[in-house]
Amino acid sequence: MATSGTSSAPELLVELDRNSKVALHRQLADGLRDAVRSGRLSPGSRMPSTRVLSADLGVSRRLVVEAYGQLTAEGFLHSTPGGSTRVAAVDTVTLPDRARSDPARPRFDIDFAPGSPDLASLPRQAWLRAMRQGLADIESSEFGYVAPHGLRAARTAVADYLRRTRGVIADPRLIVLCSGATQAIALLARCLDGPLAMEDPGFWLHRMVLQHNGIDPLPISVDDNGIDVDALASGEADTVLTTPAHQSPTGVVLSASRRTELLEWAQPGRLIIEDDYDAEYRYDRAPIGALQGVAPDRVVYIGSTSKTLAPGLRIGWMVVPEHLIGRLRTAKSLADTGSSVMDQIAFSQFLASGAYDRHLRQMRRRYPARRNALLAALSRHLPRAEVLGAAAGVHLTVRFPTGFPIDELTRRAAEARIRLEPLAPCYADPAAAPPGLILGYANVTESQIARGVEMLGRAARQLGAT
């Protein structure tokens, strides 16, 4: 542990553990990042020079330069004229009192749960500004029971965004705002007739929501080209739930020929539910337009802010064919009489101001480094694992050789305070699923990734499975 300070820079408390297997430059970057997020380093504060900090910490100047460079790329620091480095204006996070946390909820030191963005990066100040501006502009009448499917301004902002970024043919009149994609699936289950199919494997929660609403979805297999349309066509389903841009959980992309076949399958009387759950994140390939933009009369398009801002906001949307809008508005009204007006106000302003685009650009710069750290750690510590879905999204799917003791690995990981999500629940028949994991990487730091996968590799070796 060392403190650092000069007459013109804040004193810094930085802990470096030279006995740790985590590289020193990663420890330093993580420590400074946490100091900025927690507010210990205030926006605009001048940082010690790399020469001063390296001398105070007893490390090489190159190591400090590397850490500063990483944090500058992530937006936590910025260089100013004259060569000084200062703390950037980012949203701070008040750390919770652990004594007040829910004792019944297990706490994990390293959380690889998929489906979450970097929660500490939620732009709280920008969100508050958007809400204040929206409240200043909105009519008082909008706070009544007037629009269960969403405020006109919010639906218009969502429509503009989807047209611009996803090629969706979005008429605000045909948009239903809802409490995340999960509620969208539940509402659709109450409004659709006939058998429904979904990908196998597919998102386990959506399968449970459908079953809870009286629909037992027909499983349709997935291969390297996406959902098997021939198998779908040979079945009895009138509706299919699919994730064509980044299949959940395997990460494969629906091929061009399969896209054509799927749209041809969806003739009048049939429907495609397109869950575009993490379309904003593409790293190694160009974005793929939404199916809905080709056939808006045959596709329900679903999206949310759960992978971009935070699942806890519970903001989602559906763009629906005209023949369904009446039933879905009624279903939404009966479900909860409408989503929070306050959240709709904030989100519409957040979109219109460009703050959402700025936030996404920042996340697109940050997540590839975490993905690469996860890929490198898996290659080193779990070399027999097959990695899927690395080109996009915020999770990787990892499949292990037949017979791998995945349940025991998951149990040992939990004992070591590492949270894992097995692949098996994504299958209609979990007992027939290959051994595997779904590893989220957006909400963990690079040092946590390295440490967590190293511990998993050690546990796998102890099990004789590597």
Q: How confident is the model over 102-117, as a mean pLDDT?
A: 79
DSSP output for 92-148: --PPP-GGGS-TTS---SEE--SS---GGG--HHHHHHHHHHHHHHS-GGGGSS--T
Reply yes or no on whether the pLDDT at 21 is more than 80. no
> Pairing between strand 436-440 and 421-422?
antiparallel
At 59, phi and psi to the nearest 5?
-125, 170
Looking at per-residue pLDDT, the higher value among 38 and 8 belongs to: 38
DSSP output for 360-386: HHHHHHHHHHHHHHHHHHHHHH-TTPE
CATH number among 1.10.10.10, 3.40.1170.10, 2.40.50.100, 3.30.70.980, domain 2-87: 1.10.10.10
Assigned architecture for domain 124-356? 3-Layer(aba) Sandwich (3.40)
Q: Indicate the DSSP class of residue 426.
A: G
108-121+365-462 homologous superfamily: Aspartate Aminotransferase, domain 1 (3.90.1150.10)
Q: How confident is the model over 161-169, as a mean pLDDT?
A: 95
Reply yes or no on whether the pLDDT at 395 is more than 90. yes
Average pLDDT of the chain to the nearest whole number: 90
Q: How confident is the model over 209-231, as a mean pLDDT?
A: 96
Looking at per-residue pLDDT, the higher value among 49 and 447 belongs to: 447
Report the pLDDT value the prediction gives residue 105, as an integer from 0 to 100.
55
Report the pLDDT value the prediction gives residue 419, as an integer from 0 to 100.
96
β partners of residue 304: 316
The answer to whether the peptide bond before residue 201 is cis (omega within 30 degrees of 0) is: yes
Looking at per-residue pLDDT, the higher value among 83 and 403 belongs to: 403
Report the pLDDT value the prediction gives residue 69, as an integer from 0 to 100.
82
Reply yes or no on whether the pLDDT at 310 is more than 70. yes
Reply yes or no on whether the pLDDT at 99 is more than 50. no
The least confident of 195-209, 272-286, 422-436 is 272-286
Report the pLDDT value the prediction gives residue 101, as an integer from 0 to 100.
44
Q: How confident is the model over 368-384, as a mean pLDDT?
A: 96
What angle (nearest 5°) sits at the alpha carbon of residue 366, between those of residues 363 and 371? 115
Element (H, E) at 389: none
Q: How confident is the model over 6-22, as a mean pLDDT?
A: 69
First to last CA, the chain: 37
Reply yes or no on whether the pLDDT at 10 is more than 60. no
Q: Where do the domains of the chain lie?
A: 2-87, 108-121+365-462, 124-356
Q: How confident is the model over 18-47, as a mean pLDDT?
A: 83
What angle (nearest 5°) sits at the alpha carbon of residue 328, between those of residues 130 and 220? 105
Report the pLDDT value the prediction gives residue 92, as an integer from 0 to 100.
55
Instruction: State percent of the chain over pLDDT 90.
Output: 69
Q: How confident is the model over 298-318, as a mean pLDDT?
A: 96
286-290: long-range contacts, CB 8 A cutoff, minimum separation 24: 288/244, 288/245, 288/253, 289/166, 289/167, 290/162, 290/166, 290/167, 290/168, 290/245
Reply yes or no on whether the pLDDT at 12 is more than 90. no
Q: How confident is the model over 52-59, as a mean pLDDT?
A: 85
At 416, phi and psi to the nearest 5?
-90, 10
Reply yes or no on whether the pLDDT at 34 is more than 90. no
Reply yes or no on whether the pLDDT at 284 is more than 90. no
**Which residue is listed with tokens 């999206």?**
303
Looking at per-residue pLDDT, the higher value among 71 and 260 belongs to: 260
Report the pLDDT value the prediction gives residue 6, as an integer from 0 to 100.
45
